[in-house]
């Protein structure tokens, strides 16, 4: 249960009696008064950003240095905060001396690292991220290097070594880009199944949730994905949440309003799913965020550089209380294809209504000669500048064993090259219906001459399959 300081229900840590609300901590700036005060007053759950990673802890093969980590733990214990260690097995921030080790030697080094590190903190940490980011982007297999050297059996052993070293700590797998139903989250789901089958004592999974207002999971999609992993017997934590704003044009006020909606939707998805136990921000002030160095100047966190609360803070209070953003009127007529008025052919596709829908009728795209030919809906003139839009649709490939389906947003704007933004994509096996869902923020310099959502899939065995879609909803979200 989250702890509340002095009955102050206006802080993030006091919103929910069930959820842990946390932040990643830059231990190098804990001596700064403003930083320390916000961390101590707002958060009851702490993840060390760097000081518990392998490289900082074991600079040489036969020496460990826990000084910085112990200093951080002293702070958290002084303020009654729980701690999740991060991260035991990761391909980044490995010690330099591990470079060039062959696979057996690398596995032995990992074993020695875990068996030295975890006992040092035993009984003082609530949890560990044991294996971090093992799957390549796009779900194309296990990442080469450290994770490949370990393989399924070695990664399972890493969990076993951690459990033996600290039986009280909860053990997690952690990764990015898996919050949506997509190829990577499907691959991570299979990896977890394989690790559990190999005897790995996995308690939960972390969805990192490094988002942008340009594109992020919808409330419905994130809740469904949380439930999917919960069905494996896991708890879920939103483990590294931040929200970039610079990718979408608009005033700063518009960008921060869209950011607030993103934070609120993500927090509400966790609050509304019993299996979701924690929401951790990756930092809390724009003064110290990894985003600027990786993506360029941005404002990704709920406090600005001077520790002033942004709209995202109030939005998080609502989301953590289980109150998602408000949805406006439906923008698509008959997205369920009961009369066929909602969808039309995009490119050269022909649209017809058929009776074998997911619920009732469906719309079917035939006569496709290019992969982008498919069912589409026009949003032209319906979405104002700076709006945050929630979209959902179900799709399947009608005449094939399965294949990949993508939902694309096309934006045509005067003086700007046409933009094609993938909102969702997933392999649909065995002609099954799959959910395509996302939220996005729309910014533009001039009113678009065309704004279209469409669904596409590539050729299979030289043929472009028919595509079916059903149960689409498109709504503009508002923060209040």
Q: Hey, how many other C-beta atoms are within 10 angstroms of the C-beta on 352?
A: 15
Helix residue ranges per DSSP H, 166-306: 183-197, 219-230, 252-272, 290-295
Give the CA distances from residue 286 to residues 296, 305, 312, in Å, rounded to whole numbers and listed in that order.
12, 5, 12
Give the integer Cα–Cα distance in Å for 361 and 364. Answer: 10
| 351 neighbors 340 (Cβ within 8 angstroms) | yes
> How far apart are alpha carbons 186 and 224 in whole angstroms?
13
CB 213 within 8 A of CB 246: no
In angstroms, the first-to-last Cα distance of the chain is: 28
* 240 flagged as catalytic: yes
Question: Backbone dihedral region of 52: left (phi > 0), alpha (psi from -120 to 50 degrees) or beta?
Answer: alpha
**Set 49, 179, 240, 456: catalytic member:** 240
**Tokens for 352?**
């017809």
Q: Which tokens is 199 given?
A: 């005897």
Which residue in 49, 133, 277, 456 is the catalytic one?
Answer: 133
Using the structure block, give the residue that is written with the tokens 């700007």.
416
Q: Is 265 a catalytic residue?
A: no
- Which residue, chain included where needed, has tokens 């949440």? 241
The CA distance from 216 to 210, in Å, is: 9
Return the H-helix or E-strand segment holding 29.
none
DSSP bridge pairs for 83: 46
Catalytic residues: 133, 240
């Amino acid at each position: 249960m989250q702890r509340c300081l002095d009955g102050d229900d206006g802080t993030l840590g006091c919103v929910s009696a069930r959820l842990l609300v946390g932040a990643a901590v830059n231990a190098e700036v804990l001596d700064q008064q403003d930083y320390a005060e916000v961390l101590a007053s707002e958060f009851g759950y702490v993840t060390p950003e760097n000081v518990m990673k392998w490289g900082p802890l074991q600079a040489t093969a036969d020496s460990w240095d826990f000084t910085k980590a112990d200093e951080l733990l002293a702070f958290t214990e002084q303020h009654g905060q729980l701690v999740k260690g991060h991260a035991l097995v990761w391909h980044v921030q490995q010690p330099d001396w591990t470079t060039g080790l062959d696979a057996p030697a690398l596995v032995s080094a990992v074993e020695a690292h875990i068996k030295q590190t975890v006992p040092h903190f035993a009984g003082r940490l609530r949890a560990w991220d044991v294996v971090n980011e093992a799957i390549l982007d796009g779900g194309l297999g296990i990442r080469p290097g450290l994770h490949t050297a370990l393989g399924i059996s070695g990664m399972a052993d890493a969990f076993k070594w951690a459990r033996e070293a600290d039986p009280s700590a909860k053990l997690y797998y952690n990764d990015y880009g898996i919050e949506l139903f997509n190829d990577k989250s499907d691959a991570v789901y299979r990896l977890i199944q394989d690790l559990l089958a190999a005897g790995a004592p996995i308690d939960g999974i972390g969805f990192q949730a490094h988002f942008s207002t340009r594109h992020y999971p919808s409330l419905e999609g994130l809740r469904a994905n949380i439930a999917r992993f919960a069905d494996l017997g896991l708890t879920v934590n939103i483990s590294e949440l931040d929200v970039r704003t610079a990718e979408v044009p608009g005033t700063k006020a518009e960008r921060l309003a869209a950011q607030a909606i993103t934070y609120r939707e993500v927090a509400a998805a966790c609050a509304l799913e019993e299996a979701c136990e924690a929401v951790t921000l990756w930092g809390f002030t724009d003064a110290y965020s990894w985003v600027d160095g990786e993506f360029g100047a941005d404002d990704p966190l709920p406090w600005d550089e001077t520790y002033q609360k942004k709209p995202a803070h109030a939005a998080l209070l609502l989301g953590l209380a289980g109150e998602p953003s408000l949805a406006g009127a439906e923008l698509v007529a008959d997205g369920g294809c009961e009369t066929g008025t909602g969808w039309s052919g995009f490119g050269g596709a022909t649209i017809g209504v058929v009776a074998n829908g997911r619920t009732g009728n469906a719309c079917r795209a035939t006569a496709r000669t290019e992969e982008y030919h498919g069912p589409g809906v026009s949003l032209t003139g319906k979405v104002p500048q700076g709006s945050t839009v929630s979209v959902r649709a179900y799709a399947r490939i009608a005449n094939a064993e399965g294949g990949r389906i993508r939902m694309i947003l096309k934006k045509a704007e005067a003086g700007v090259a046409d933009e094609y933004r993938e909102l969702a994509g997933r392999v649909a096996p065995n002609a099954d219906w799959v959910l395509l869902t996302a939220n996005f923020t729309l910014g533009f310099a001039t009113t678009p001459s065309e704004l279209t959502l469409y669904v596409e899939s590539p050729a299979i065995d030289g043929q472009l399959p028919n595509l079916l879609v059903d149960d689409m909803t498109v709504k503009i979200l508002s923060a209040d």
